Amino acid sequence: MSNKVIQAMYNDDDVLMDAVKEVRAAHYHIDEVYTPFPVHGLDKAMGLKGTRIAITAFMYGCVGFSFAIWMMNYMMIEQWPQDIGGKPSMSFFLNMPAFIPIMFELSVFFAAHLMVITFYMRSRLWPFKEAENPDPRTTDDMFVMEVAVDGNEAELVSFLEKTGTVEIKVTEKH
């Protein structure tokens, strides 16, 4: 199977949206769309599944909450209970009101940082990572749709030309 893709470039988000819908309706396969800003509704139009990253954030938050409880219980109640200011640390539940601020902070800390790390890993973003947008203008004002070539290339090109594209390029995908 050839790895050829056609990169169709658009200069307007509304034209791009219509083009994406047309291409999907004609049963061509959209490999990727690169845009300079979040185009609302594009993911649905492309048929992308919803992201589950918010669910991971909730789970990470639960981890942080449990970690906070375990840590404070271990350090203040189990390992070395002390009588601070006439308030002895004998039971977790009697001391718990004082632990609430840190339980909250650690839940947020874990949820936020681990979610962001998950995002960076899943979207392959890290220092020294090479950018993969096909054209430098896609971070400025251009939108690129990559369509896989499957069968008649000329037919696909002429189809895409009718969708309002301003530039078309056929390249080999590495």
Partner 1 sequence: MSSHYEAPIRRPLIDGDKSYHDITVEVAAPVEGKANKLWWTAFAIALTAFLWGLGSIIYTIGTGIGVWGLNKTVGWAWDITNFVWWVGIGHAGTLISAVLLLFRQKWRMGINRSAEAMTIFSVVQAGLFPVIHMGRVWNAHFVLPIPNQFGTLWTNFNSPLLWDVFAISTYLSVSLVFWWTGLLPDFAMLRDRAVKPFQKKIYSLLSFGWSGRAKDWQRFEEVSLVLAGLATPLVLSVHTIVSFDFATSVIPGWHTTIFPPYFVAGAVFSGFAMVNTLLIIMRKVSNLEAYITLQHIELMNIVIMITGSIVGCAYITELFIAWYSGVEYEQYAFLNRATGPYWWAYLLMMSCNVFSPQFMWSKKLRQSITFSFIISIVVNVGMWFERFVIIVTSLHRDYLPSSWTMFSPTFVDIGIYVGTIGFFFVLFLLYARTFPVIAQAEVKSILKSSGENYKKLRDRNHE
Question: Shortest CA distance to 142 belongs to which of 38, 18, 32, 11?
Answer: 11
> By CB under 8 A, is residue 72 in contact with partner 1?
yes
Candidate segments 1-9, 82-90, 147-155, 163-171, binder of partner 1 by CB under 8 A: 82-90
Nearer to partner 1, 136 or 151 (CB): 136
Separation CA 63–CA 65 (nearest Å)? 5
> By CB under 8 A, is residue 62 in contact with partner 1?
no
Window 127-146: residues binding partner 1 (CB under 8 A): 127-133, 136-141
Neighbours of 19 (CB within 10 A): 24
> By CB under 8 A, is residue 124 in contact with partner 1?
yes
Window 16-35: residues binding partner 1 (CB under 8 A): 32-35
Separation CA 78–CA 64 (nearest Å)? 20
- 120: helix, strand or coil: helix
Separation CA 29–CA 111 (nearest Å)? 36
List the one residue from 105, 150, 161, 167 that touches partner 1 (CB under 8 A). Answer: 105
**Which two structure tokens, joined as six digits, stand for 80?**
């070395």
- 86: helix, strand or coil: coil
List the one residue from 4, 15, 24, 39 that touches partner 1 (CB under 8 A). Answer: 39
Residue length, the chain?
A: 174
Task: List contacts with partner 1 (CB under 8 A).
Answer: 13-14, 32-43, 46, 48, 50-51, 53-54, 57, 61, 71-72, 75-76, 79-80, 82, 84-85, 87, 89, 95, 98-99, 101-102, 104-106, 108-109, 111-113, 115-116, 119-120, 122-133, 136-141
